[in-house]
Amino acid sequence: MPTKKCEFCKSDISDFDDYCPLCGSAVRNPKIDNRLSVCEKCNAPLDDPDALCRSCGHSFGFLEKVSSELLCEKCNFQINSSDKFCRNCGYKIEIKSKQHGNRKEINSVTKDSKNKQKGYTGSIFERITVLPIVILGVIGILVLIAIFANYREETGDFDEVTVSNPRPAPTHSSSVRNTPVPEPTYTTLLTYTPVPVRPVATSVPVAPIATSVPVPTATTQSIPSTNPLYGGHLRYGGSTGFPPKWDHTQTSTWIALFHYGGRIWNGLLQFSPRDGVSIWEDMATDWYISYDGLTYTFAIDPNLKEWHDGTPFDIDQIIYGYNRWKNPPEGIIQPRVGALVLIDSMEKQGSNLAITLSEPFGDFLAETANGWHLILPQHILEANNNTIPYPDLMVGTGPMKYYDSQEGVSVTTVRNNNYFRSDPNGNPYPYLDAISTYTFADAEVEVAALRTQQLDAARLIENQFPGQQAIMDENPGEFTFSVEPMVDVASIQLNNTAAPFNDINARRALYYGVNRQRIIDFNGKENPVNPISWFSNLFPSYDEIASYPGYNQDTRDADVAKAGEYAAEAGLTEFDLISVPFRVQDAELVAQDMMECCNVKVNITTQDWTTMVAAVEGRNYDAATGGTAPSYAGIIPVIDIMLAPGGGRNGGWDPPQNWQDTWGKAKKMQPGAERDALFAELERIQLEEWVPTLPYYGVVSNKSWWHYVNNMNNTAQELFSNNKMEDLWLSSNAPEAGGN
């Protein structure tokens, strides 16, 4: 007699079922106990929730069945035996099961046993399943083949089902497909000889360019020193958090670009994955700017012909995408719209696209290379209420196609065999067969996975610099841990639209009262950070920033006295401060400073990054330890996203009119002394008349990778501009190279 429902397919199951009889999903498995107290490999002591030894990186799992439930070791949330990570806290789970009559013995999956498996057999944390699930899985695959005849296997890839109509929401949090990625192939590319990128599209007449409008040209893509190889599976770790939406345009967090972004979709142009500054071709192969700086003409690649699902591609869909940015449908937010709001008209001219602005904008070309400004499919959006509700609706034109995901944990994309871009020698991109990106709730576990080559690369691991440095020291010439400056504004964001911070004196109390240098010193070597202004580390000079209140310890006593006066004048006695987990120590220091200087009580609550961003964007907060980084390096994009009215990360601070007038002039100019003078005036107004937020440090960009990953670089604004990965490739000694 059925007494409950399967979590995944919602069919009836009984209390005696270990697996769903319809879909084969594991039913709640036994609670386990008797966990390891020391590492079975190196005998180092282990914390109770550890899944990897923090000393040697050895992986281990659960040992014994004792009751009728399986719980996460870290948070006690109920999990399935098929789960790779806890769905509640993100903790990594690694188990395999042996059947002993009616009893299961649950043992660990070690790195050695995993390396015996050839090719790609699922995610890096795949567990060895029991025979029933294998049999049911085979039956399920045969049923799917019978139903979906247009799923056909070709050279290790699958044609996607065309989805153009709305459908019911899935009844489970993971994706529709949980089958392994097709086994990678492994092939040597043609020998390279230096061939420059096409210099000029002959279909667009080249007009003389006004000297006042510098025109970036297509940068010649670098030629690898060795011959790349096709094939392999890249396993890439990221920081905490998971994309809140599958439509990346509706969120402002870099995590969306990390997990899919440029691998799924293309933009008109892209920033170089070598330096993050040079502009490379993408959908457009060439571009021209009119004398008056208002009209930008792009020659669209003639090889761009279809979306991943086979739907024909047309320039009109670029126009649709840019119009959606400028005039989003009702209920759709576009927080990273940037200068696309200045578009006055767009016109298809044969194979070219002409975009005319309502006023000049010095950085508009960079906006077309902005990692956020990718083109989404009109036919999918219009059929799904102007959004992308499910991951398998992420249909793009990019080098990789969506394959699988686990909510809160990972996303896997596989090679698009019909990708329109090729390398300088005509060999088609991408080189890799598959890319999986992972979110980690525990940074130490991520470093351990990197150490044991269960990850090939990782970026922005918070508070774990020594661990990554140690891997490089232990593996000279085989591993890189790179730290580069980043244009970033970590700040105490203040809701200027509601009490208490609608009073400038309350904002001044924080500006003078918080010892920002102490926060920087506290982070230390574990998480090195730098003093900043509202314009990050770009302006004014470092020496001038170091003289600001909170950084200058010589004026600390006078600053504290001013803070007390401002707090008293504003009647500031208490406020709520939202902190993300990795900045709780910053929030605690702020609370301590405000109590000491002004007798102001600070109530700290902790939220994950995406929840905090939603609170700030919705103006549903007092203060938050947030901030942002622009999509590309420059003061203009910092202002556009963080300070300007309508900016996607403007959390409720409207500038005074004199600031807006000055900004209106600066954004039209090219770099130079005149524009710098306007930036100085903006900074003066921010200091003396506005004080919208409290910027307190800028993070650095850290990235690690094993040297069998080729063409990997840590670039300017790495988080936003370096996500396409079309030219990454794995050497033959890579764990998941596909040929060893």
The CATH number that applies at residue 500 is 3.10.105.10
Mean pLDDT of the region 258-263: 83
Question: Are both 664 and 530 inside the same structural domain?
Answer: yes
Asked if the structure places residue 168 within a domain, the reply is no
Mean residue pLDDT of the chain comes to: 76
CA distances from 531 to 405, 483, 491, 625, 717 (A): 38, 16, 11, 16, 18
Domain assignment present for residue 612? The answer is yes
Pairing mode, strands 729-730 and 709-710: antiparallel
Residues 332, 273 within the same domain = yes
User: 430 with 494, same domain?
Assistant: no
Long-range contact set of residues 560-563: C-beta below 8 Å, sequence gap at least 24: 560/512, 560/513, 560/596, 560/597, 562/508, 562/512, 563/508, 563/509, 563/510, 563/511, 563/512, 563/513, 563/597, 563/598
In a domain, 47, yes or no: no
Asked if pLDDT for residue 102 goes beyond 50, the answer is no
Are 336 and 311 within one domain?
yes
pLDDT in tens, 273-292: 988 889 999 999 999 999 99
How open is the CA angle 479-485-491, to the nearest 5 degrees?
125
Residue type, 5: K
| 694 lies in the same domain as 721 | no
Please determine, for residue 698, whether its predicted confidence score (pLDDT) is greater than 50: yes
Q: Is residue 59 assigned to a domain?
A: no
Structure token pair of residue 309: 């699902």
63 pLDDT above the threshold of 90: no
The answer to whether residues 274 and 416 touch, using CB atoms and an 8 Å cutoff, is no
Pair of tokens at residue 372: 């956020």
Length of the chain: 740
Indicate whether 560 and 417 sit together in one domain: no
Task: Indicate whether 626 and 578 sit together in one domain.
Answer: yes
- In terms of domains, do 303 and 382 share one? yes
Say what percent of the chain tops pLDDT 90: 46
- Residue 407 has a pLDDT of 83
> Can you tell me the mean pLDDT for 415-434?
96
Residue 593: inside a domain: yes
Mean pLDDT check: name the lowest of 462-466, 528-532, 582-586. Answer: 462-466
Q: Each residue of 13-39: pLDDT tens digit?
A: 665 454 455 545 444 433 323 334 455
Which band of pLDDT confidence, cut at 50, 70 and 90, is reported for residue 307?
very high
The residue ranking higher by pLDDT, 591 or 524, is 591
The CA-atom distances, in angstroms, between 161 and each of 125, 586, 613 are 28, 48, 34
**Residue 168 — very low, low, confident or very high, per pLDDT cuts 50/70/90?**
very low
Q: How many domains does the chain have?
A: 2
- Residues 87-111: what's their mean pLDDT? 38
Query: Is residue 497 a part of any domain in this protein?
Result: yes
* CA torsion angle 320 322 325 329 (round to 10): -10
Report the pLDDT averaged over residues 601-626: 92
The verdict on residue 415 lying in a domain is yes
547 and 619 part of one domain: yes
Residue 44 has pLDDT above 70, yes or no: no
Count of CA atoms in the C-beta half-sphere (13 A) of 662: 20
Residues 322 and 194 in one domain: yes
Cis omega before residue 500 (within 30°)? yes
Q: Are residues 418 and 520 in the same domain?
A: no
Judged against a pLDDT cut of 60, whether residue 578 lies above it is answered with yes
Question: Would 525 be classed as within a structural domain?
Answer: yes
The answer to whether residues 575 and 722 belong to one domain is no
| 441 sits in which H/E element | none
* Per-residue DSSP letter, 427: P
Structural domain for 340, as ranges:
186-208+229-436+713-730
Domain CATH number, residue 342: 3.40.190.10
